[in-house]
Amino acid sequence: MSAQELISTEPATGAILWRGVAGDADREVAAARAGWSQWAARPLAVRIETLRRFANVVRARHEAFSDLIARETGKPLWEARTEVDTVIAKVDISITAFSDRTGQRRLEAQMGSRLALRHKPHGVLAVLGPYNFPAHLPNGHIVPALIAGNAVVFKPSEKTPAVGEFLVECYRAAGVPEGCVRLLLGGPDAGRALASHPGIDGLLFTGSARTGLALNRAFAETPEKILALEMGGNNPIVVWSTPDIYSAAILVIQSAFTSAGQRCTAARRLIVEDKLYDPLIEQITKLADRLIVGEPHADPAPFMGPVIDNDTADMLTENFLSLTSQGGRPIRYMTRPVDGRPFLSPGIVDMTDARERPDVELFGPLLQVIRTDSFEAAIAEANATRYGLSASLVSQDPRLYDQFWAGIRAGIVNWNKPTNGASSSAPFGGVGWSGNHRPSAYYAADYCAFPVVSSEAEQARASIGVGLSDG
Protein backbone atom coordinates (compact mmCIF):
# COMPACT_ATOMS: atom_id res chain seq x y z
CA MET A 1 0.00 0.00 0.00
CA SER A 2 1.43 3.41 -0.99
CA ALA A 3 1.60 6.30 1.46
CA GLN A 4 -1.38 7.95 -0.20
CA GLU A 5 -3.59 4.88 -0.55
CA LEU A 6 -6.37 4.29 1.97
CA ILE A 7 -7.94 0.91 2.66
CA SER A 8 -11.04 0.20 4.75
CA THR A 9 -11.73 -3.32 5.96
CA GLU A 10 -14.79 -4.87 7.54
CA PRO A 11 -14.18 -5.34 11.30
CA ALA A 12 -16.32 -8.50 11.41
CA THR A 13 -14.55 -10.33 8.59
CA GLY A 14 -11.31 -8.54 7.76
CA ALA A 15 -12.38 -8.32 4.11
CA ILE A 16 -11.34 -5.24 2.16
CA LEU A 17 -14.42 -3.06 1.69
CA TRP A 18 -13.06 0.07 0.03
CA ARG A 19 -9.92 1.59 -1.46
CA GLY A 20 -9.21 5.25 -2.05
CA VAL A 21 -6.56 7.94 -2.14
CA ALA A 22 -5.86 10.56 0.51
CA GLY A 23 -6.96 14.07 -0.39
CA ASP A 24 -5.39 17.51 -0.11
CA ALA A 25 -6.68 20.00 2.47
CA ASP A 26 -5.51 23.04 0.49
CA ARG A 27 -7.42 21.94 -2.60
CA GLU A 28 -10.63 21.11 -0.74
CA VAL A 29 -10.67 24.34 1.29
CA ALA A 30 -9.97 26.39 -1.85
CA ALA A 31 -12.89 24.74 -3.64
CA ALA A 32 -15.18 25.43 -0.70
CA ARG A 33 -14.08 29.07 -0.49
CA ALA A 34 -14.82 29.50 -4.17
CA GLY A 35 -18.28 28.00 -3.84
CA TRP A 36 -19.74 29.13 -0.53
CA SER A 37 -20.75 32.70 -1.32
CA GLN A 38 -22.93 31.64 -4.25
CA TRP A 39 -24.65 29.06 -2.02
CA ALA A 40 -25.13 31.63 0.76
CA ALA A 41 -26.71 34.02 -1.74
CA ARG A 42 -29.40 31.55 -2.71
CA PRO A 43 -32.75 32.07 -1.00
CA LEU A 44 -33.26 30.11 2.19
CA ALA A 45 -36.20 28.34 0.56
CA VAL A 46 -33.90 27.00 -2.16
CA ARG A 47 -31.37 25.70 0.35
CA ILE A 48 -34.14 24.05 2.36
CA GLU A 49 -35.65 22.43 -0.70
CA THR A 50 -32.23 21.11 -1.70
CA LEU A 51 -31.77 19.46 1.69
CA ARG A 52 -35.26 17.97 1.48
CA ARG A 53 -34.20 16.38 -1.79
CA PHE A 54 -31.17 15.03 0.06
CA ALA A 55 -33.49 13.32 2.54
CA ASN A 56 -35.34 11.75 -0.37
CA VAL A 57 -32.10 10.57 -1.96
CA VAL A 58 -31.06 8.87 1.29
CA ARG A 59 -34.53 7.36 1.63
CA ALA A 60 -34.22 5.84 -1.85
CA ARG A 61 -30.77 4.43 -1.00
CA HIS A 62 -31.71 3.35 2.52
CA GLU A 63 -30.83 -0.33 2.29
CA ALA A 64 -27.54 0.16 0.45
CA PHE A 65 -26.53 2.86 2.93
CA SER A 66 -27.47 0.69 5.92
CA ASP A 67 -25.54 -2.25 4.53
CA LEU A 68 -22.43 -0.13 4.02
CA ILE A 69 -22.57 1.30 7.55
CA ALA A 70 -23.02 -2.18 9.01
CA ARG A 71 -20.09 -3.59 7.05
CA GLU A 72 -17.67 -0.73 7.70
CA THR A 73 -18.42 -0.25 11.42
CA GLY A 74 -19.40 -3.80 12.35
CA LYS A 75 -22.62 -2.66 14.00
CA PRO A 76 -25.71 -4.85 13.55
CA LEU A 77 -27.78 -4.18 10.46
CA TRP A 78 -30.81 -3.21 12.56
CA GLU A 79 -28.74 -0.51 14.22
CA ALA A 80 -27.31 0.71 10.90
CA ARG A 81 -30.85 1.08 9.57
CA THR A 82 -31.73 3.19 12.60
CA GLU A 83 -28.73 5.41 11.85
CA VAL A 84 -29.92 6.00 8.29
CA ASP A 85 -33.36 6.89 9.67
CA THR A 86 -31.74 9.61 11.80
CA VAL A 87 -29.88 10.98 8.76
CA ILE A 88 -33.22 11.43 7.00
CA ALA A 89 -34.99 12.87 10.05
CA LYS A 90 -32.21 15.41 10.61
CA VAL A 91 -33.38 17.54 7.69
CA ASP A 92 -36.83 18.43 9.03
CA ILE A 93 -35.44 18.84 12.55
CA SER A 94 -32.78 21.23 11.27
CA ILE A 95 -35.27 23.27 9.26
CA THR A 96 -37.39 23.75 12.37
CA ALA A 97 -34.35 24.49 14.51
CA PHE A 98 -33.04 27.09 12.05
CA SER A 99 -36.34 28.96 12.18
CA ASP A 100 -36.61 28.64 15.94
CA ARG A 101 -33.02 29.38 16.90
CA THR A 102 -31.74 31.64 14.11
CA GLY A 103 -34.79 33.00 12.34
CA GLN A 104 -35.37 36.66 11.52
CA ARG A 105 -36.97 38.87 14.17
CA ARG A 106 -38.35 42.41 14.04
CA LEU A 107 -38.63 44.39 17.28
CA GLU A 108 -40.04 47.86 17.77
CA ALA A 109 -37.65 50.44 19.20
CA GLN A 110 -37.84 54.10 20.25
CA MET A 111 -38.67 57.05 18.00
CA GLY A 112 -40.31 55.00 15.29
CA SER A 113 -37.22 52.92 14.58
CA ARG A 114 -36.99 49.15 14.80
CA LEU A 115 -34.48 46.46 15.67
CA ALA A 116 -33.84 43.67 13.19
CA LEU A 117 -32.24 40.38 14.18
CA ARG A 118 -30.85 38.29 11.35
CA HIS A 119 -28.18 35.61 11.10
CA LYS A 120 -25.29 35.19 8.69
CA PRO A 121 -23.31 32.05 7.85
CA HIS A 122 -19.68 31.86 8.92
CA GLY A 123 -18.37 30.83 5.51
CA VAL A 124 -16.36 27.62 5.21
CA LEU A 125 -16.77 25.17 8.08
CA ALA A 126 -14.66 22.07 8.62
CA VAL A 127 -16.40 18.98 9.95
CA LEU A 128 -14.43 16.14 11.53
CA GLY A 129 -16.52 12.99 11.88
CA PRO A 130 -16.12 9.94 14.14
CA TYR A 131 -16.29 6.25 13.23
CA ASN A 132 -19.02 5.08 15.63
CA PHE A 133 -21.86 6.93 13.85
CA PRO A 134 -20.08 7.77 10.59
CA ALA A 135 -23.21 9.09 8.85
CA HIS A 136 -25.48 10.42 11.61
CA LEU A 137 -22.97 12.49 13.59
CA PRO A 138 -21.26 14.39 10.74
CA ASN A 139 -24.64 14.81 9.05
CA GLY A 140 -25.82 16.45 12.27
CA HIS A 141 -23.28 19.20 11.63
CA ILE A 142 -23.42 19.34 7.83
CA VAL A 143 -27.18 19.69 7.31
CA PRO A 144 -27.65 22.71 9.64
CA ALA A 145 -24.44 24.25 8.28
CA LEU A 146 -25.73 24.01 4.70
CA ILE A 147 -29.17 25.35 5.59
CA ALA A 148 -27.51 28.37 7.18
CA GLY A 149 -25.57 29.03 3.97
CA ASN A 150 -22.12 27.69 4.81
CA ALA A 151 -19.88 25.53 2.67
CA VAL A 152 -18.45 22.43 4.34
CA VAL A 153 -15.21 20.50 4.10
CA PHE A 154 -15.90 17.10 5.62
CA LYS A 155 -13.18 14.76 6.78
CA PRO A 156 -14.59 11.39 7.82
CA SER A 157 -12.75 9.10 10.19
CA GLU A 158 -9.98 7.21 8.45
CA LYS A 159 -11.70 4.09 9.81
CA THR A 160 -14.96 4.77 7.94
CA PRO A 161 -14.09 6.55 4.67
CA ALA A 162 -16.56 4.57 2.55
CA VAL A 163 -19.54 5.81 4.56
CA GLY A 164 -18.22 9.37 4.38
CA GLU A 165 -17.90 9.13 0.61
CA PHE A 166 -21.42 7.68 0.29
CA LEU A 167 -22.86 10.50 2.41
CA VAL A 168 -21.25 13.18 0.25
CA GLU A 169 -22.52 11.48 -2.91
CA CYS A 170 -26.04 11.77 -1.50
CA TYR A 171 -25.66 15.52 -0.95
CA ARG A 172 -24.45 15.99 -4.50
CA ALA A 173 -27.15 13.79 -5.98
CA ALA A 174 -29.68 16.08 -4.28
CA GLY A 175 -28.22 19.15 -5.97
CA VAL A 176 -25.93 20.58 -3.30
CA PRO A 177 -23.21 22.25 -5.40
CA GLU A 178 -19.90 20.41 -5.46
CA GLY A 179 -18.13 23.49 -4.14
CA CYS A 180 -20.32 23.51 -1.04
CA VAL A 181 -19.66 19.98 0.24
CA ARG A 182 -16.09 18.86 -0.12
CA LEU A 183 -14.75 15.46 0.97
CA LEU A 184 -11.26 15.26 2.45
CA LEU A 185 -10.06 11.69 2.82
CA GLY A 186 -7.07 10.86 4.95
CA GLY A 187 -5.72 10.07 8.37
CA PRO A 188 -4.82 12.22 11.38
CA ASP A 189 -2.41 14.33 9.33
CA ALA A 190 -5.24 15.34 6.98
CA GLY A 191 -7.39 16.21 9.99
CA ARG A 192 -4.68 18.39 11.48
CA ALA A 193 -4.09 20.12 8.14
CA LEU A 194 -7.79 20.90 7.83
CA ALA A 195 -8.22 22.05 11.43
CA SER A 196 -5.26 24.43 11.19
CA HIS A 197 -6.04 25.71 7.70
CA PRO A 198 -6.26 29.52 7.52
CA GLY A 199 -9.04 29.24 4.94
CA ILE A 200 -11.66 27.79 7.28
CA ASP A 201 -13.98 29.95 9.37
CA GLY A 202 -14.71 27.33 11.99
CA LEU A 203 -14.53 23.69 12.98
CA LEU A 204 -17.32 21.35 14.09
CA PHE A 205 -15.89 18.31 15.85
CA THR A 206 -17.22 15.06 17.28
CA GLY A 207 -14.67 12.71 18.80
CA SER A 208 -12.38 11.98 21.70
CA ALA A 209 -11.55 14.36 24.51
CA ARG A 210 -7.84 14.10 23.75
CA THR A 211 -8.33 15.39 20.22
CA GLY A 212 -10.88 17.97 21.37
CA LEU A 213 -8.47 19.38 23.95
CA ALA A 214 -5.76 19.66 21.31
CA LEU A 215 -8.17 21.51 19.01
CA ASN A 216 -9.17 23.85 21.83
CA ARG A 217 -5.52 24.76 22.37
CA ALA A 218 -4.93 25.18 18.63
CA PHE A 219 -7.88 27.59 18.31
CA ALA A 220 -6.93 29.66 21.36
CA GLU A 221 -5.36 32.40 19.22
CA THR A 222 -8.13 32.50 16.62
CA PRO A 223 -11.24 33.66 18.50
CA GLU A 224 -12.77 34.79 15.23
CA LYS A 225 -13.28 31.13 14.27
CA ILE A 226 -16.21 29.16 15.66
CA LEU A 227 -15.23 25.93 17.44
CA ALA A 228 -17.88 23.43 18.49
CA LEU A 229 -16.60 20.42 20.42
CA GLU A 230 -18.69 17.35 21.18
CA MET A 231 -16.48 14.92 23.03
CA GLY A 232 -16.84 11.78 25.09
CA GLY A 233 -17.86 10.89 28.60
CA ASN A 234 -17.12 8.76 31.64
CA ASN A 235 -20.84 8.48 32.19
CA PRO A 236 -22.50 7.19 35.39
CA ILE A 237 -25.75 5.30 35.79
CA VAL A 238 -26.99 5.23 39.39
CA VAL A 239 -29.42 2.55 40.61
CA TRP A 240 -31.09 3.43 43.90
CA SER A 241 -34.33 2.64 45.74
CA THR A 242 -36.08 0.64 43.05
CA PRO A 243 -38.01 -2.63 43.46
CA ASP A 244 -37.89 -3.54 39.76
CA ILE A 245 -34.43 -5.06 39.57
CA TYR A 246 -35.01 -6.68 36.19
CA SER A 247 -35.92 -3.40 34.48
CA ALA A 248 -32.97 -1.70 36.17
CA ALA A 249 -30.65 -4.41 34.83
CA ILE A 250 -32.00 -3.95 31.30
CA LEU A 251 -31.40 -0.19 31.48
CA VAL A 252 -27.82 -0.82 32.62
CA ILE A 253 -27.23 -3.32 29.80
CA GLN A 254 -28.66 -0.93 27.21
CA SER A 255 -26.59 1.95 28.56
CA ALA A 256 -23.30 0.08 28.74
CA PHE A 257 -23.32 -2.35 25.82
CA THR A 258 -25.47 -0.97 22.98
CA SER A 259 -23.21 -0.35 19.93
CA ALA A 260 -20.58 -2.50 21.71
CA GLY A 261 -20.18 0.41 24.12
CA GLN A 262 -19.03 2.66 21.28
CA ARG A 263 -21.26 5.61 22.08
CA CYS A 264 -20.09 8.80 23.74
CA THR A 265 -23.16 8.55 26.00
CA ALA A 266 -22.57 4.91 26.99
CA ALA A 267 -22.53 4.16 30.71
CA ARG A 268 -18.95 3.52 31.82
CA ARG A 269 -19.73 3.36 35.55
CA LEU A 270 -22.59 1.72 37.47
CA ILE A 271 -23.07 3.19 40.93
CA VAL A 272 -25.42 1.06 42.99
CA GLU A 273 -27.05 1.14 46.40
CA ASP A 274 -25.36 -1.32 48.73
CA LYS A 275 -28.48 -3.37 49.44
CA LEU A 276 -29.36 -3.67 45.75
CA TYR A 277 -25.88 -4.77 44.69
CA ASP A 278 -26.23 -8.56 44.80
CA PRO A 279 -29.63 -8.92 43.08
CA LEU A 280 -28.80 -6.27 40.47
CA ILE A 281 -25.40 -7.74 39.56
CA GLU A 282 -26.98 -11.19 39.33
CA GLN A 283 -29.56 -9.94 36.82
CA ILE A 284 -27.03 -7.91 34.83
CA THR A 285 -24.72 -10.92 34.57
CA LYS A 286 -27.54 -13.19 33.43
CA LEU A 287 -28.55 -10.70 30.73
CA ALA A 288 -24.96 -10.13 29.62
CA ASP A 289 -24.52 -13.89 29.24
CA ARG A 290 -27.51 -13.93 26.87
CA LEU A 291 -26.35 -11.06 24.63
CA ILE A 292 -25.62 -12.23 21.09
CA VAL A 293 -22.30 -10.90 19.82
CA GLY A 294 -22.00 -11.46 16.10
CA GLU A 295 -21.42 -10.14 12.61
CA PRO A 296 -23.79 -7.45 11.30
CA HIS A 297 -25.97 -9.62 9.07
CA ALA A 298 -26.20 -12.67 11.33
CA ASP A 299 -29.51 -14.45 11.92
CA PRO A 300 -30.70 -14.21 14.65
CA ALA A 301 -29.70 -10.58 14.77
CA PRO A 302 -26.93 -9.81 17.29
CA PHE A 303 -27.30 -7.32 20.09
CA MET A 304 -23.83 -6.00 19.35
CA GLY A 305 -21.11 -6.46 16.80
CA PRO A 306 -17.33 -6.08 17.09
CA VAL A 307 -15.52 -2.94 18.10
CA ILE A 308 -14.00 -0.99 15.24
CA ASP A 309 -10.64 -2.80 14.90
CA ASN A 310 -8.16 -5.15 16.56
CA ASP A 311 -6.07 -2.32 18.01
CA THR A 312 -9.14 -1.06 19.86
CA ALA A 313 -10.01 -4.56 21.05
CA ASP A 314 -6.45 -5.06 22.30
CA MET A 315 -6.55 -1.74 24.13
CA LEU A 316 -9.82 -2.61 25.86
CA THR A 317 -8.70 -6.05 27.01
CA GLU A 318 -5.48 -4.50 28.32
CA ASN A 319 -7.51 -1.90 30.20
CA PHE A 320 -9.69 -4.62 31.72
CA LEU A 321 -6.55 -6.29 33.05
CA SER A 322 -5.22 -2.92 34.23
CA LEU A 323 -8.40 -2.29 36.24
CA THR A 324 -8.04 -5.67 37.94
CA SER A 325 -4.38 -4.99 38.70
CA GLN A 326 -5.47 -1.80 40.49
CA GLY A 327 -7.70 -3.77 42.83
CA GLY A 328 -10.79 -4.24 40.66
CA ARG A 329 -12.66 -7.51 41.12
CA PRO A 330 -13.74 -9.17 37.85
CA ILE A 331 -17.47 -9.90 37.71
CA ARG A 332 -17.54 -10.90 34.05
CA TYR A 333 -14.34 -11.34 32.11
CA MET A 334 -13.88 -9.60 28.79
CA THR A 335 -12.95 -12.20 26.18
CA ARG A 336 -12.18 -12.37 22.45
CA PRO A 337 -14.61 -15.01 21.13
CA VAL A 338 -13.33 -14.91 17.52
CA ASP A 339 -9.61 -15.30 16.90
CA GLY A 340 -8.12 -12.43 14.96
CA ARG A 341 -11.28 -10.31 14.88
CA PRO A 342 -12.27 -7.48 17.24
CA PHE A 343 -15.32 -9.12 18.81
CA LEU A 344 -15.49 -8.65 22.58
CA SER A 345 -17.76 -10.13 25.18
CA PRO A 346 -19.10 -7.56 27.69
CA GLY A 347 -16.68 -7.01 30.56
CA ILE A 348 -17.78 -6.03 34.08
CA VAL A 349 -15.42 -5.23 36.95
CA ASP A 350 -16.18 -4.12 40.52
CA MET A 351 -14.01 -1.09 41.35
CA THR A 352 -15.45 -0.39 44.81
CA ASP A 353 -12.24 -1.31 46.65
CA ALA A 354 -9.79 -0.44 43.89
CA ARG A 355 -6.72 1.57 44.80
CA GLU A 356 -7.40 3.92 41.90
CA ARG A 357 -10.27 4.56 39.54
CA PRO A 358 -8.86 6.02 36.32
CA ASP A 359 -10.97 8.86 34.92
CA VAL A 360 -10.78 7.79 31.29
CA GLU A 361 -13.29 7.02 28.58
CA LEU A 362 -12.90 3.33 27.75
CA PHE A 363 -14.73 3.28 24.42
CA GLY A 364 -16.14 -0.23 24.34
CA PRO A 365 -18.22 -2.83 26.23
CA LEU A 366 -16.52 -2.40 29.61
CA LEU A 367 -18.53 -1.47 32.71
CA GLN A 368 -17.09 -0.53 36.10
CA VAL A 369 -19.24 -1.03 39.21
CA ILE A 370 -19.07 0.97 42.45
CA ARG A 371 -21.29 0.34 45.47
CA THR A 372 -22.11 3.08 47.97
CA ASP A 373 -24.10 3.29 51.20
CA SER A 374 -25.66 6.76 50.82
CA PHE A 375 -27.27 8.64 47.97
CA GLU A 376 -25.07 11.67 48.62
CA ALA A 377 -22.03 9.44 48.21
CA ALA A 378 -23.50 8.08 44.97
CA ILE A 379 -23.85 11.59 43.53
CA ALA A 380 -20.32 12.45 44.64
CA GLU A 381 -19.04 9.30 42.97
CA ALA A 382 -20.99 10.08 39.80
CA ASN A 383 -19.41 13.54 39.73
CA ALA A 384 -15.88 12.18 40.29
CA THR A 385 -14.91 12.81 36.68
CA ARG A 386 -13.55 15.57 34.49
CA TYR A 387 -16.23 14.67 31.94
CA GLY A 388 -19.86 15.71 32.06
CA LEU A 389 -21.85 14.36 29.16
CA SER A 390 -24.58 11.96 30.28
CA ALA A 391 -25.91 10.60 33.58
CA SER A 392 -28.94 8.54 34.51
CA LEU A 393 -30.79 7.64 37.68
CA VAL A 394 -32.84 4.46 37.98
CA SER A 395 -35.15 4.95 40.96
CA GLN A 396 -38.84 5.07 41.77
CA ASP A 397 -38.42 7.95 44.23
CA PRO A 398 -39.10 11.32 42.51
CA ARG A 399 -37.47 13.16 45.40
CA LEU A 400 -34.22 11.35 44.69
CA TYR A 401 -34.47 12.36 41.04
CA ASP A 402 -34.91 16.02 42.07
CA GLN A 403 -31.80 15.71 44.22
CA PHE A 404 -29.93 13.89 41.45
CA TRP A 405 -30.87 16.45 38.79
CA ALA A 406 -29.81 19.35 41.01
CA GLY A 407 -26.53 17.78 42.07
CA ILE A 408 -25.26 15.99 38.99
CA ARG A 409 -22.85 17.67 36.59
CA ALA A 410 -23.81 16.66 33.06
CA GLY A 411 -25.45 18.04 29.95
CA ILE A 412 -27.87 15.09 29.69
CA VAL A 413 -29.60 13.92 32.89
CA ASN A 414 -32.09 11.04 32.56
CA TRP A 415 -34.51 9.32 34.91
CA ASN A 416 -35.41 5.64 34.50
CA LYS A 417 -33.97 5.80 30.99
CA PRO A 418 -30.61 4.69 29.58
CA THR A 419 -27.70 7.12 29.46
CA ASN A 420 -27.73 6.87 25.66
CA GLY A 421 -30.36 7.28 22.96
CA ALA A 422 -30.59 11.10 23.04
CA SER A 423 -33.18 12.79 20.84
CA SER A 424 -32.11 14.90 17.86
CA SER A 425 -35.07 17.18 18.62
CA ALA A 426 -33.30 18.43 21.75
CA PRO A 427 -29.87 19.98 22.33
CA PHE A 428 -27.04 17.50 22.81
CA GLY A 429 -23.77 18.17 24.60
CA GLY A 430 -21.90 18.21 27.86
CA VAL A 431 -19.58 20.14 30.11
CA GLY A 432 -16.02 19.67 31.32
CA TRP A 433 -14.06 17.41 29.03
CA SER A 434 -17.28 16.50 27.20
CA GLY A 435 -17.70 19.76 25.31
CA ASN A 436 -17.26 23.52 25.19
CA HIS A 437 -20.84 24.65 25.86
CA ARG A 438 -21.85 24.48 22.19
CA PRO A 439 -24.44 21.69 22.19
CA SER A 440 -25.26 20.01 18.91
CA ALA A 441 -28.46 18.29 17.66
CA TYR A 442 -31.30 20.84 17.86
CA TYR A 443 -28.92 23.63 18.96
CA ALA A 444 -26.51 23.03 16.06
CA ALA A 445 -28.16 26.01 14.39
CA ASP A 446 -26.56 28.21 17.04
CA TYR A 447 -23.00 27.55 15.88
CA CYS A 448 -23.75 27.45 12.14
CA ALA A 449 -24.67 31.14 11.92
CA PHE A 450 -23.93 34.25 13.93
CA PRO A 451 -26.49 36.92 14.93
CA VAL A 452 -26.48 40.37 13.36
CA VAL A 453 -28.52 43.05 15.11
CA SER A 454 -29.51 46.18 13.18
CA SER A 455 -31.09 49.38 14.45
CA GLU A 456 -33.11 50.67 11.50
CA ALA A 457 -35.18 53.72 10.55
CA GLU A 458 -36.55 54.63 7.13
CA GLN A 459 -35.61 58.30 7.56
CA ALA A 460 -32.60 59.85 9.23
CA ARG A 461 -33.63 61.96 12.24
CA ALA A 462 -31.00 63.03 14.73
CA SER A 463 -30.35 65.72 17.31
CA ILE A 464 -27.90 66.49 20.09
CA GLY A 465 -29.81 67.61 23.15
CA VAL A 466 -26.98 68.41 25.56
CA GLY A 467 -23.34 69.34 25.57
CA LEU A 468 -23.22 71.77 22.65
CA SER A 469 -21.95 75.34 23.05
CA ASP A 470 -23.91 78.24 21.59
CA GLY A 471 -22.89 78.67 18.01
Give yes or no for residue 2 having a pLDDT over 60.
no
pLDDT digits (tens, 9 = 90+) for 40-52: 999 999 999 999 9
Residue 471 lies in a domain: no
Is pLDDT of 276 > 50? yes
Q: Is the pLDDT of residue 191 over 80?
A: yes
Please tell me the total count of domains within the chain: 2
Rounded average pLDDT over 387-406:
98
Residue 383 covered by a domain: yes
What's the predicted TM-score (pTM) here? 0.96
Q: Tell me: do 139 and 155 sit in the same domain.
A: yes
54 with 161, same domain: the answer is yes
- Tell me: do 166 and 22 sit in the same domain: yes
Confidence at residue 176, expressed as pLDDT on a 0 to 100 scale: 98
Verify that 384 and 293 share a domain, yes or no. yes
The rounded mean pLDDT for the chain is 96
Q: Are residues 163 and 273 in the same domain?
A: no
41 shares its domain with 180: yes
The domain that holds 12 is classified in CATH as 3.40.605.10
Using H for helix, E for strand and C for coil, what is the string for the chain? CCCCEEEEECCCCCCEEEEEECCCHHHHHHHHHHHHHHHHHCCHHHHHHHHHHHHHHHHHCHHHHHHHHHHHHCCCHHHHHHHHHHHHHHHHHHHHHHHHHHCCEEEECHHHCEEEEEEEECCEEEEECCCCCCCHHHHHHHHHHHHHCCEEEEECCCCCHHHHHHHHHHHHHCCCCHHHEEECCCCHHHHHHHHCCCCCCEEEEECCHHHHHHHHHHCCCCCCCEEEEECCCCEEEEECCCCCHHHHHHHHHHHHHHHHHCCCCCEEEEEEEHHHHHHHHHHHHHHHHHCCECCCCCCCCCCECCCCCHHHHHHHHHHHHHHHHCCCEEEECCCCCCCCCCCCCCEEEECCCCCCCCCCCCCCCEEEEEEECCHHHHHHHHCCCCCCCEEEEECCCHHHHHHHHHHCCCCEEEECCCCCCCCCCCEECCCHHHECCCCEECCHHHHHEEEEEEEECCCCCCCCCCCCCCC
293 shares a domain with 158? no
pLDDT value at 468 more than 70? yes
For residues 227 and 240, state if they share a domain.
no
pLDDT category at 460 given cuts 50, 70, 90 is confident
Is residue 3's pLDDT more than 80? no
Q: For the segment 205-257, what is each residue's pLDDT rounded down to a tens digit?
A: 999 999 999 999 999 999 999 999 999 999 999 999 999 999 999 999 999 99
The answer to the question of residue 205 being in a domain is yes
Q: Give yes or no: residues 159 and 290 share one domain.
A: no
Domain co-membership, 402 together with 331: yes
What is the structure's pLDDT at 111? 65
State yes or no: pLDDT of 273 exceeds 50.
yes
My answer on whether 207 and 354 are in the same domain is no
Catalytic residues: 230, 264
Supply the range of the domain harboring residue 96: 5-231+435-456
